[in-house]
Amino acid sequence: MQVNQSKISLSDVKDEVLAVAVLQGKELPKELSEVTKHMRKEEFEAKQGQTHVLSTLGKFKFSKLLLYGLGEEKDLNLDFLRRFAGSAVRYAVSVKSASVSIALPNVKNASEAAAQAIVEGAVLASYKPIKFKSKQDDYFEVKNISVVSKENIDEALKRGSTLAHSQNYVRDINENPANIATPQVLAQAARDLSKQQGLACTVFEKSDLQKMKMNAILAVNQGSVLPPVLVIMEYNKDKKDLPFYAVVGKGITFDSGGISIKPAKGMQEMKYDKTGAVTTLGIMKAVSELKLPIRLIGAFAATENMPSGSAQKPGDIITAYNGKTIEVLNTDAEGRLILADTLAYVAERKPQAIIDLATLTGAIIIALGRYRIGLFSNDDNLAKNIFDAGEQTFERVWRMPLDKEYSEMDKGDFADVKNIGSEMGDAGSITAAAFLQEFVGDCKWAHLDIAAVDAIAEKHSYLDKGASGIGMRLVVESLARLAKK
């Protein structure tokens, strides 16, 4: 999607559709009064999310005016602007208009943030998971959006476009099911991205992982006919004076549960168990396109988790990359195993902070529902940074505890740790996070449990059903904030 700015007045818009957002109780733009004066107040009260379409009947060059309610000014949230732009694009699709003009609303002292949010909403709403449909012509695409404003919003438009296109890149890769997005295919995506963006990229194959004693990754992979990979990408690799961070993702390309097999119902959702890894790709893409002044490692291990005659079995004891022994009591708690080796490897490089993203536990859906990501951290400043980034991007997080009692729950009977904290599932998300903490050494670290937000199942005002790409903008915003300190 092409994004540009129109420095014209609203009355001069030439696209077929002009979308205008209105605060409750505020006047409609005067330039449009020729059309809006015929509207009764009751028809459109500008309640949050309300839409109303007026035909301009030849009074202007544009033929449809889409009014969108922002609600009351005191309740205004930047995400309402993403929703506004999403509605504008969805409306343009419905009337098959390839270009749409969106008026930048007057948001006090925040025209840049507002412009960015508008572009994000529009670009995100333009992505549909249709690549496996044979009749592509059935789907109309909006190709251009013009943000109508005389303000200086050039950088904001670029930033919004880069971020939202990176999020769509995440969604598009993540939408590939397990027969397409194999571990090898994810490794190739990392190579392609790295070539495009000038990143260093190393792919460790199964034989390398055997030599390196990455036994936790290998154990999860044991039941699969496809070999695992460990991918390490590096941005600004040689710029040792820049602040240095690492992002780690969980890359289970399909989670059947293994021998501790999952129920059949809903198992197809487990194609999204690679979301953390794919989001890591999107973070590397956005960070390098935005040229953030940091050095960054993006790492993920990818493998299927399958049952078979060679699969790992409950009770197995393995030695992870950092030498800790793990009792595998449930083969469905596999994400923490592949993350154990990946985190331990990345921690050796001593980044100033590690952020991991993982569709780690069903329990986080029970705890927080689908509106907030579970945040766990061993560092208050890092946690605060991520919390604030979540409010800004509307990829909101909520911090969960990591008291030492939860780590006690992970103590093994026969090995150092066990991969489930409680047979009953008590504190399932926390004991999973506490398990990860065993592998980060003394690095500052934050873990994002994104199991509840990996895909959209219900209606959403700018994301279609399917892979959401949520978490990418959050981490990029958090890294941008860290870089500023």
Which positions are catalytic?
262, 336
Nearest distance, CB of residue 273 and Mn ion, angstroms: 7
- Please tell me whether residue 304 binds Mn ion under the rule CB under 5 A: no
Q: Which residues bind ligand BES (CB under 6 A)?
A: 255, 273, 330, 332-335, 359, 361-363, 420, 428, 451
Shorter beta-carbon distance to ligand BES: residue 166 or 419: 419
Shorter beta-carbon distance to Zn ion: residue 200 or 457: 457
Nearest distance, CB of residue 223 and Mn ion, angstroms: 12
User: From ligand BES, Mn ion, Zn ion, none, which one binds at residue 362 (CB under 5 to 8 Å depending on kind)?
Assistant: ligand BES
- Please tell me whether residue 255 binds Zn ion under the rule CB under 5 A: yes
Number of amino acids touching Mn ion (CB under 5 A): 3
- φ, ψ dihedrals at 114, nearest 5°: -65, -45
Shorter beta-carbon distance to Zn ion: residue 29 or 335: 335
242-252 burial, b for 16+ CB within 10 Å, e for fewer?
Answer: ebbbbbbbbbb
Burial class (CB in 10 A: 0-12, 13-18, 19+), 339: buried
* Dihedral sign, Cα of residue 165, residue 169, residue 172, residue 174: negative
Helix spans in 222-274 (H): none
285: left (phi over 0), alpha (psi -120 to 50) or beta: alpha
Nearest distance, CB of residue 162 and Mn ion, angstroms: 33
Residue number of the CB closest to Zn ion reads 255
Candidate list 175, 234, 332, 341; residue touching Mn ion; CB under 5 A? 332
- Please tell me whether residue 255 binds Mn ion under the rule CB under 5 A: yes
Q: Give which of 477, 450, 473, 8 is closest to 250, Cα–Cα.
A: 450
- Please tell me whether residue 454 binds Mn ion under the rule CB under 5 A: no
Cross-strand pairs, 29: none
Helix or strand (DSSP H, E) at 381: helix 380-393
Nearest distance, CB of residue 482 and ligand BES, angstroms: 27
- Please tell me whether residue 120 binds Mn ion under the rule CB under 5 A: no
Residues 415, 325 contacting (CB under 8 angstroms): yes
- Please tell me whether residue 341 binds Mn ion under the rule CB under 5 A: no
**CA angle, corner 246, sides to 245 and 247, nearest 5?**
135
The number of CA neighbours under 13 Å toward the Cβ of 412 is: 20
User: From Mn ion, Zn ion, ligand BES, none, which one binds at residue 428 (CB under 5 to 8 Å depending on kind)?
Assistant: ligand BES
* Cα–Cα distance, 79 to 48 (Å, whole number): 11
Nearest distance, CB of residue 70 and ligand BES, angstroms: 33
Shorter beta-carbon distance to ligand BES: residue 70 or 216: 216
Candidate list 160, 335, 351, 421; residue touching Zn ion; CB under 5 A? 335
Q: What is the binding site for Zn ion (CB under 5 A)? A: 252, 255, 273, 335
